[in-house]
Structure 1
Amino acid sequence: MKPQQQSATMSGERAKTLNELEAQFTAISARAQTLVGSGGKELCMKPPSPGSWSVTECLQHLNISADSYFPIWQQVIANAAPRKSEMNAPYQADFWGRLLSWILEPPARIRKKTVLHLEPTERGEIEVVLDEFVERQERIIGTLRRCRGRAIDQVKIASPVDSRIRYSIWSSFLVNAAHERRHLWQAEQALQKLRNGK
């Protein structure tokens, strides 16, 4: 891994290439597995305070969020035009991609209530939820690989969270990576509070 790629992976810096973005989702998957492994079943299933999400619920939310993007990506990526730039040349984030990824990177800069259809609805077993999370990261990476050679920064999609927001396919991946890091950070904070008895 090149130094600049490693920096983007570890710091949450906005990715500029498909390789960097793929490395970020790989790192996110590993981070979630480390988190659950260190917390154990009992702590991961327990919310740190009334009304707060447990580690399990944070991961469930991310699974639901990812599922809202897969049908969109499947439909639009296949229709994206061939890219005129070099295969792994930097992509450009648009306005919404830059703004939302900045807002979502932890620690949270702006807190907003999660829309109802993306809230975790049931408390599943942490082992199952983690397996589902890792599987979704693999699907995201597979989707990224289908983007190679395509002008995904030139094709707009409507956000499944708020249809008034339209950003490029490329920006949608940036937003997803930042969103996942935000809720993994939230899960880590929840685990720390439980360990400290707060």
Structure 2
Amino acid sequence: MKGIANKQLIEQLENRIELHLKESIELFQNLHERVLLHPASNGGWSIAQCLEHLNSYGHYYLPAIKKELSTQQSNHPNLVFKSSMLGSYFTQLMEPKEKMMKMKATKSHSPATDLDAYVVVAEFIAQQEELLSLLKQSIEVDMNAIRIPISIAKFIRLRLGDVFQFLIAHNHRHILQAKRNLYISYNQPVED
């Protein structure tokens, strides 16, 4: 697999996070709670549940990334990131595509139905801002050397660059799901 300069990878990922922040603020932040909590017409998650699912990943990965970054020194780091086969596989699995494979969330990442929708949206926005900050801190570290255990199988450790790519692709996947729910909600009456 071909490598990519840390700076270039980080710029690409920053652009995606900034889009997620913009969409979350513009589309979700000021929605009525009924719209945020309205289940998808196909029985899937509500907008708030989509975001809470992503928050559960943030609860795990953001502190893990922060901890690892705090122990790193930037003494001549390898400033070219090369994705591992497993990291690349997980990222591609999460990237939205026309025919996406449905996956069942593990119990630890399954959102409740009785959520405080406004708190969920605010937390998601705060997590995206923290993710952006952590990404910027990573420009001078060897993202190949830092390994983060994955949340569903801690014995599997992915390179930091792979974790960033996976998380951001996963966020994108579920933001698209939430946006589909928003479109459907505005084209169907929401019951009181």
Is the structural similarity TM-score above 0.5?
yes
**Greater alpha carbon shift after TM alignment, 53-62 vs 68-77:** 68-77
Report the CA distance between 1:141 and its aligned residue: 1.4
CA contact (8 A) 2:29 2:121 kept: no
What's the CA shift for 1:182?
Answer: 0.4
1:67 aligned residue: 59
1:94 equivalent in structure 2:
84
Cα offsets for 1:25-54 (capped at 9, x unmatched)? 121111122221585432221002374110
Question: Residue type of the partner of 1:48?
Answer: A
Q: Aligned equivalents of 1:131 and 1:38: distance in 2?
A: 10
Q: Which runs of 5+ in 2 are unaligned?
A: 1-6
Kindly indicate which of the two structures has a greater share of residues assigned to strand. Answer: 2
Q: In structure 2, what is the Cα distance between the partners aligned to 1:47 and 1:143?
A: 33
CA shift for structure 1 position 16:
4.4
Q: 1:109 aligns with which of 89, 100, 119?
A: 100
Q: Is the 8 A contact 1:83 1:151 kept in 2?
A: no
Query: How does the TM-score come out when normalised to structure 2?
Result: 0.82
The aligned residue for residue 153 of structure 2 is 162
Q: Report the number of matched residues.
A: 182
Give the aligned partner of residue 194 of structure 1: 185
DSSP 3-state at the match of 2:39: coil
Deviation at 1:127, TM superposition (A): 2.5
Identity across aligned pairs (percent)?
A: 21
Match of residue 141 from structure 2 = 150
Q: 1:54 to 1:150 in 2, by over 3 A?
A: same
Residue 55 (structure 1) aligned with residue 47 (structure 2): yes
Unpaired segments of 5 or more residues in structure 1? Answer: 1-14
Aligned residue for 1:152, secondary structure, equals coil
TM-score (norm 1): 0.79
Secondary structure at 2:158 match in 1: strand
Instruction: Give matches, 1:13-92, under 5 Å.
Output: 16-36=8-28, 40-49=32-41, 51-80=43-72, 82=74, 84=76, 90-92=80-82
* Equivalent position SS for 1:74: helix
Instruction: Give deviations 1:136-172, integer Å, cap 9, x for gaps.
Output: 1111112122223110222222201233432101110
The aligned counterpart of 1:10 is none
